[in-house]
Structures are given as C-alpha cells and as structure tokens.
Amino acid sequence: MDKIRPSELDRQLSAGEDPFLLDIRRRDSFRNGSIDEAHNVPVYSDLQRGDDSTFRDQLDEIPRDEDVVVICKAGIVAKKATAILNEEGYDAATLLGGMSGWNGYQNGTIGYKLRSLLWRAVG
C-alpha cells in the first residue's frame, strides 16, 4: 500500500476498518482542521528540509500492527514519511492530495473531481 485516495479512506473509515491516521503537518495546521481520530506528529517542516531524524525518533508513537495513512497538506511531503515507514517495516500509504484532497473530496469540489480523474488515468 503506497497511496490511498480520499474516497477509499472514507470507505474504510465508514466500514470500521480504521487505519492509524498519521498527520505530519504543523500543530497549528492540525488544530485548524484534521480528519477525526488522526494523530499529529508534526514533522512536516523537518521532512520538507530533508531532515528525517526527528521523524525516525518518533516512530515508537506509530503502531506497527496497523495500516498507517500519512497525511500532510497536499500529499507531497507525506510521501517521504510513507517511504520511511515502509522501509522500517510498516504498512503505510500516503493520502493522495493530503488534507487539500480530503477537503475537496468531502466538499465535492470540481478541483477534486478533476484530480480524481487524473489519478485514475495515471493508475
């Protein structure tokens, strides 16, 4: 599992297949809006700069026996965290589009619908 679309995550959450939601955004961004039950490990800025040491130091906060969905602002920095988690033996995926994608999905925006078509075309 490398990536997950907002619609698939919504289906899992609705079906009670609750993955561990790891939101790596800054605390203020997390407080201003997050997915219910998400856990905040604010390492976005560090990973964006290429420093993964803080994130690696906090891996013990992430359960190894659950699927993990990594969330950031737009899904780009979350890919770095997902790669580290998978390298360390976790079953992790990046939420495509991050919180922007999630909010677009929840609100049914045209931007989300176009992005969703692109994701389907790319595979």
Query: What's the token pair of residue 22?
Result: 């790891």
Distance CA 77, CA 12 (A): 23
- When pLDDT is cut at 50, 70 and 90, the band that residue 46 belongs to is very high
Q: How far is CA 19 from the centre of its chain?
A: 11
pLDDT at residue 122 tops 70 = no
The structural domain count of the chain equals: 1
Q: Give me the domain span that covers residue 23.
A: 3-122
Which pTM value belongs to this model? Answer: 0.88
pLDDT at residue 48 tops 70 = yes
pLDDT tens for each residue of 80-103: 999 999 999 999 999 999 999 999
Residue 118 belongs to domain with CATH number: 3.40.250.10
Q: Provide the strand spans (E) within 5-115.
A: 20-23, 39-40, 67-71, 91-95
